[in-house]
Amino acid sequence: MPRPQTIQIFLPDGSARSIKIAEITSKIVKAIQIPRNKIKTAEQREETSNAGVYFLFGESEETAKSKVYIGEAENCIKRIKQHLKREFWNVAILIISKTESLTKSHVKFLENHCVNQAKDIGRYEVENASNPTKSHITEQMEADIMDLFDDMKILLSTLGFPIFESLRRDIDKKGELICKGRDAIAYGEYTDDGLVVFKGSIANKEESATAGSWIIGMREKLLNSNILAKKGNVLEFISDHIFNSPSAAAGAVLARRANGWLEWKNNDGKTLDELERKEES
């Protein structure tokens, strides 16, 4: 079970849209979020030149997932400046130690672990061309790094980048949702982040005449991202995928405009609207 945490976010120039410095008050990890246009400003902050791992986040017009590049450096801000030639990213987050205790071996090990975890979880499209080399560290050091990773995961989620949060929880059949259409039958779960459609779900192949450009474009991005794949006269989800709303998930499955609050139902036939919104009221 997650434990209660106290997280402090400091805004150096007073703007919530600018640089943010987040830390768990009782831990040594610090996350510094830097918009791309604030790199020069961040360079003036001494701690940004510390050793650590960094994440470059951005969006894609062609694919359904946001993108991330993960790296490590002994001087984070110097290395991030070298990535300005990469056009996809608009925000960087660097993870450092408040005690400046991270070594090259630490951050190399952490970089490798982060890339593998991000690929396994699949929330983001990882831009790293290859897996970084895993450094050899002692068993005790590895335990410390895994503890640091857990803290880092919380900070990244708090800043709005849940890259290491699993898409689905351990739920029983009672918590599972179903969306059915002409040829479609999809299974999913309503979560804090949106609606997750599970791997193996089946979607209609052909869009309806009134589907609209948004539904068509969304499904095209899912195909480009290898989240949906053609399988005979249907489309199949070949990985779990999270949609920011139940209606977006239903539209992707049914290939038409749809009210997801009514289309997604549990095994007893209750709609998501009945299960979530009406129960709350």
Dist CA 150 CA 145 (whole Å): 9
Range 32-39 contact pairs with CB under 8 angstroms and sequence separation of 24 or more: 32/93, 32/94, 32/96, 33/91, 33/92, 33/93, 33/159, 34/80, 34/91, 34/92, 34/93, 34/94, 35/90, 35/91, 36/84, 36/89, 36/90, 36/91, 36/92, 39/77, 39/80, 39/81, 39/84, 39/92
Q: Give 73-90 pLDDT, tens digit per residue.
A: 999 999 999 999 999 999
Q: Give 206-244 pLDDT, tens digit per residue.
A: 999 999 999 999 999 999 999 999 999 999 999 999 999
Q: Give 27-72 pLDDT, tens digit per residue.
A: 999 999 999 999 999 999 999 999 999 999 999 888 899 999 999 9
Q: Can you give the pLDDT at residue 255?
A: 97
Q: Can you give the pLDDT at residue 5?
A: 86
Q: Can you give the pLDDT at residue 168?
A: 77
